[in-house]
Amino acid sequence: MELQTELDSLDAQHMRRSLRSVEQNEGARLQVQGKPLLNFSSNNYLGLARHPQVVDAVRQVLDHWGAGTGSSRLISGTSVIHHDLEQALAAFMETEAALVFPSGYMANLGVVTALVGEGDAIIMDRLCHASLIDAARLSGARLFIYGHADLAEAERALKRTASYRRRLLVSDSLFSMDGDFAPLPELAALAQQAGAITILDEAHAIGIWGEHGRGARAMADQTSDWDVVVGTLSKALGSQGGFVCGSQALIDTLINKARSFIYTTGLSPTCVAAAHAALSLIQEDSVPRKRLHGLAHYLREGLRGLGFDTLDSESQIVPILLGSAEKALTCAAHLEGAGIYAPAIRPPTIHAGECRIRFSVTAEHTEKDIDQLVNALSRWRKS
């Protein structure tokens, strides 16, 4: 059958993907096929997914609201707890308003397609997340991709698109596969000069970077320079769901036009409660965030000391660039043999020839865990 031929061809190119069931997942450790492994692949950066106060908040809301909302947000799927979370997110992100979506992917789809369409232009970094690329394609606007963090190319694209009706300049703040930050002040200034709307995806930075974990735009003192900020509830916040922050007019536009908000069931009360509890914890306690920064630095230094190319990583996301899919798979298999879980990252997640292992450090790791990883990679280098 044709599908099987396609799968076989993926296999032959080392590009086939498959699911692996995790049997236990606690702290920085998980168990797969009966084998305990040290996990370097989680976005639960602060360990809040299992924090006792988060779990307790979910238990309480389950008793009162049950498991599901039973309706889309515009029908009867908006409860007071959705409203409270949206107010808390807007206050945290220092914007007028916020809107919660069932996932960060859907938040990106919703905001881009609500703002632009045919006759408009989107100017976007080459390494933006797949959800932003999909959003751009779905919108019908013309897409202009500039080289990664290449300000001169971004400026040229803004000039070339001067005659378009509306333009969006879109970037991740912290790039999910390279672990580096976008040049935020420079990008915002270019967009402002050109009169383009700015969208910043802070999925990997919220909770980790900036004062109180407000994200990279807060770190760069850029809170008011980005028109739209997208975040997720599913990484540092340890829950599930996504959100968009901005002006009240933006949020009202999304409620009226964002199809990935309108035509889907409202986010489960359990996700809402978990995210709200996690948001409070993030603001109360900076210790896990600081601990994470220290551990990430320790890992980057260890890997660079071994001579690995960690690209321009400056964050808790630390890749090692390996090139071919085969090499990345061999490295991942070696690590698994050494008790470490960190899958190979291959196209289409990244560009061809840029296969890598992407390590994500969490506050639940210890220096000893990082030593175990660095030692395993040192042995692989020598093998």
- Catalytically annotated residues: 176, 204, 235
Closest by CA to 342, choosing from 137, 18, 41, 8, is 41
Q: Which amino acid is at 170?
A: V
Facing residues of 245 across strands? Answer: 98, 229
- State in Å, rounded, how far the first CA of the chain is from the last one: 40
Min dist CB 251 to ligand PMP, Å, is 18
Of the two residues 232 and 268, which places its CB atom closer to ligand PMP in the complex?
A: 232
Q: Rule CB under 6 A: is residue 105 a binding residue for ligand PMP?
A: yes
Q: What share of the chain is helix, strand, coil (3-state, %, to 5)?
A: 45, 20, 35
Judge whether 44 and 255 are in contact, CB under 8 Å: no
Q: Helix 80-93 and helix 269-284: axis angle, to 10°?
A: 30
Which of positions 171-190 make contact with ligand PMP (CB under 6 A)?
172, 176
- Asked if 45 is part of the footprint of ligand PMP (rule: CB under 6 A), the reply reads no
For tokens 């879109």, what's the residue?
170
CB of 274 to ligand PMP, least distance (A): 13
Please give the full DSSP string across 81-102, using - where no structure is assigned. Answer: HHHHHHHHHHHHHTSSEEEEES
Other Cβ atoms within 10 Å of 159 Cβ, number: 11
Kindly give the interhelix angle for 367-382 and 325-337, rounded to the nearest 10 degrees: 120
Q: Which of residues 223-252 bind ligand PMP (CB under 6 A)?
A: 232, 234, 242
Among 47, 77, 104, 207, binds ligand PMP (CB under 6 A): 104
Applying CB under 6 A, among 39, 131, 139, 260 the residue interacting with ligand PMP is 131
Task: Please tell me whether residue 203 binds ligand PMP under the rule CB under 6 A.
Answer: yes
Stretch that binds ligand PMP, among 99-107, 152-160, 311-319, 333-341 (CB under 6 A): 99-107
Total residues contacting ligand PMP by CB under 6 A comes to: 14
Nearest residue to 218 via CA among 187, 285, 173, 175: 173
- From candidates 82, 129, 300, 346, binder to ligand PMP by CB under 6 A: 129
Q: In this chain, which stretch among 82-90, 180-188, 201-209, 353-361 interacts with ligand PMP, using CB under 6 A? A: 201-209
Task: Determine which helix (DSSP H) or strand (DSSP E) holds 264, and give its type and residue range.
Answer: none
Contact call for residue 39 and ligand PMP (CB under 6 A)? no
d(CA 90, CA 289): 21
Q: How far is the CB of 104 from ligand PMP (least distance, A)?
A: 2
Phi, psi of 91 (to 5 degrees): -65, -45
The number of residues making up the chain comes to: 383
Among 82-90, 98-106, 152-160, 301-309, the segment contacting ligand PMP (CB under 6 A): 98-106
From 46-54, 196-204, 207-215, 341-349, give the range in contact with ligand PMP by CB under 6 A.
196-204
Kindly indicate which of the ranges 30-38, 76-84, 200-208, 352-360 contains the residues binding ligand PMP, using the contact rule CB under 6 A: 200-208
Please tell me whether residue 113 binds ligand PMP under the rule CB under 6 A: no
Nearer to ligand PMP, 355 or 377 (CB): 355
Determine the residue type at 269: P
- Contact present, 331 and 357 (Cβ < 8 Å): yes
Does 42 help bind ligand PMP (rule: CB under 6 A)? no
- Binding region for ligand PMP (CB under 6 A): 103-105, 108, 129, 131, 172, 176, 201, 203-204, 232, 234, 242
